[in-house]
Amino acid sequence: DISSAVLTLSEAITRYKNDDPENTFSAYYHRAQSYSLKQDWKNAIADYYNTIETGKLDGRDGIPIASYPGHSEMNRNSYFNIADAFFNLQDYTNAANAYSTAWKKFNSQPEMLWALIQEAKCYYSLNRTADAQKNIELALFAYEKFTNASPENANSPSFLRWKKELDDLTLLIGGE
């Protein structure tokens, strides 16, 4: 049960916080995921930020925790999940800022397309059509870059979904 998971992870954070940043990092991330499952977006946002901050600390061998295998994905996902949580709260200004931070930080990864698309949706919701159109253009450019570099990407479920979202957004925003 999710509430039990939150309690157990909270105990782990309290126990490890000062002595074991690696386990604290994982506990913050998994507690944030648990809060997200409960749609407790504000607590999820706080814990995703805690994950990112803890990831900046040096772990064993003086290497930042966020760069460890497995941890780098949790760190990356935290940036995107913060933006998604703000979006779910309909806080489109903070969501747009968080999506922008995510895609700029991870611009060599295909997931940046999701962030560009979602940022465009935020701008559309904020009646900032020109900014939404600019994001759509950036997303289309990125889509072409990623599918040209690896043509098999074009048929992957994520890329097919992102392309449909881009096409739908182009129709929606172009129709105004």
pLDDT digits (tens, 9 = 90+) for 98-149: 999 999 999 999 999 999 999 999 999 999 999 999 999 999 999 999 999 9
Check pLDDT > 80 for residue 175: no
Confidence (pTM): 0.92
**CA distance linking residue 154 with residue 22, whole number of Å:** 36
Nearest by Cα to 85 from 35, 17, 128: 35
What is the pLDDT, as a whole number, of residue 60?
78
SS3 51: helix
